[in-house]
Amino acid sequence: MRLCDNTALELANMLRKKQCSAKEIYSDTLQRAQDEQNTINAYITFNDEAEKAAEAVDAMIADGRELPLIAGIPIAVKDNISTKGLRTTCASKMLRSYVPPYDAFAVEKLRNAGAVIIGKSNMDEFAMGSASDTGFFGAVRNPVDTNYSAGGSSGGSAASVSSGGAVLALGSDTGGSVRQPASLCGVVGFCPSYGAVSRYGLIPFASSFDRIGSIGRTVEDTYLLHNIINGADPKDVTSLNIFYPFNLIGELQGIRIGIVKELWNSFIDDDVRSSVMSAIRLMEKNGAVIKEISIPDILSAVKAYYVISSAEASSNLARYDGIRYGHRSDKCENLNELYKNSRSEGFGDEVKRRIMLGTFVLSEGFCDDYYKRAVALRKSLCAGFEEAFQQCDIIASPVYPKAGLKLGENKNPTEIYSADIFTVPSSMAGLPSISIPFGKNREGLPIGLQLIGGRSCDHKVFDIAYGYELVGGGCND
């Protein structure tokens, strides 16, 4: 087995026993990433300074210095998370040459812990999409079957970990963009409570939803990464200071697992339904208690989400006008043409669609009918989740109604948006959730189990997921 096929904790142990060097781990992982790049297209930019970072870790080990477990581990960073001196494009023509002068809070924490940032991973443009096929740099293919998408919008991050082109990865999750690609690529993806990880340096899509999440091959690896990047940040007024114990226990005995009846009445592929129910039964067999619960507003969450998130996107992306930020058109004769042509040329179709939708729902005469009603539903949904967590410790569901997304198969926006039914509700409420692989469908494509926890109960989500993994879950065999 190659070094890049080991978990982060296995590699950390090997480093400390001097069975390999950080430079050897980086070189092997980079070689795998480059070998797969033409096929998978997981990266937009590789980091030319990564080898120096690996050598610095080796020097510290040689000096006998104690290092964080993540030191020397190659990590991919989604290309909407700022990296000082390393191009950050949001997979958009609008920012194709942008090099940030600062690191995101999460990236700074990784660098301080000795992690090796191998490169910037491909994605949907400005994180708007579900198949990592809306970006300027081409679609990301699924390493499990390259006829299929890696999912989105953090497709490059999930594909890089799945293929061995990174050991861990950062993604962003607005409505499911870490969990869905993790599910489709057969890895673990965690979306934290809103505020658990600072958004400083995350280029915004929808500010009241956006979160930086972690992707790994195991629950423990993903927890290791999250434990590095979480914490309060004075540069982000929404950030929280949540303490996370290092060790996971993984006890399932007596854990109450909620099954939301409204979700299970929606469309789900037979293979996905049976696999996820098998995962839930496995936890029940090991001491968990299954409870049916109801959250009446949950089926309206997707509609409200796309109203609110598009409104926020319309506002956030207004800054890209060809003057202050982003691509500037050379086909203009006056100021209005400069704005129009720069934005028309710089943004792709999906981004334009959401900007126009967001502008519409915020416009005079429509704000009350759409935006304010969506905000009211969001508040009601949050109350529904709070009531649900009086009855259960965790909520279990599929991550996505299908096991795979064939590249180019479905371009109907309404159908694409509707498929977010399982991930969007917890995003609306700012709740922590995790995708864990369990089984495959008849075509051999991975299926993910989603576990959703209460507000700021991130450690509990990880602990239950770890318990599930210990009893035989988290595999794709």
**Residue 156: inside a domain:** yes
Closest to 422 (Cα-Cα) out of 280, 290, 265, 279: 265
Q: Which residues of the chain have pLDDT under 70?
A: 410, 473-477
**Residue 401: inside a domain:** yes
Q: Where are the alpha helices (DSSP H) in 81-171?
A: 105-112, 155-163
Given this model, what pLDDT does residue 475 score? 52
8-16 and 50-62 helices cross at what angle (nearest 10)?
Answer: 50
Cβ atoms of 270 and 277 within 8 Å: the answer is no
Given this model, what pLDDT does residue 413 score? 87
Given this model, what pLDDT does residue 266 score? 73
For residue 283, give the CATH number of its domain: 3.90.1300.10
Q: Helix (H, G, I), strand (E, B), or coil: what is residue 8?
A: helix
**Residue 455: inside a domain:** yes
In 164-216 the beta strands, taken as DSSP E runs, fall at 168-173, 188-191, 211-216
CB atoms within 10 A of CB 460: 16
**Residue 48: inside a domain:** yes
Q: How many domains, in total, are found in the chain?
A: 1
Given this model, what pLDDT does residue 474 score? 59
Q: What is the pLDDT of residues 129-167, one digit of tens each?
A: 999 999 999 999 999 999 999 999 999 999 999 999 999
Q: Helix (H, G, I), strand (E, B), or coil: what is residue 464?
A: helix
Whether cis (ω within 30° of 0) applies to the bond prior to 153 is: yes
**Residue 270: inside a domain:** yes
Q: List the structure tokens of 107.
A: 């990236």
Angle at Cα 182 formed by Cα 178 and Cα 183, nearest 5°? 120
CB atoms within 10 A of CB 356: 12
Q: List the structure tokens of 221.
A: 């690896």
Catalytic residue set: 78, 153, 177
User: Which residues face 446 on adjacent strands?
Assistant: 440
pTM for this prediction: 0.97
**Backbone Cα Rg of the chain:** 21
Q: What is the pLDDT of residues 337-368, one digit of tens each?
A: 999 999 999 999 999 999 999 999 999 889 99
**Residue 130: inside a domain:** yes
Given this model, what pLDDT does residue 473 score? 67
Q: Helix (H, G, I), strand (E, B), or coil: what is residue 138?
A: coil
The owner of tokens 């498929």 is 419
The residue segments making up the domain with residue 236 are 1-306+391-477
Torsion sign, CA atoms 458, 464, 465, 466: positive
**Residue 365: inside a domain:** no
**Residue 371: inside a domain:** no
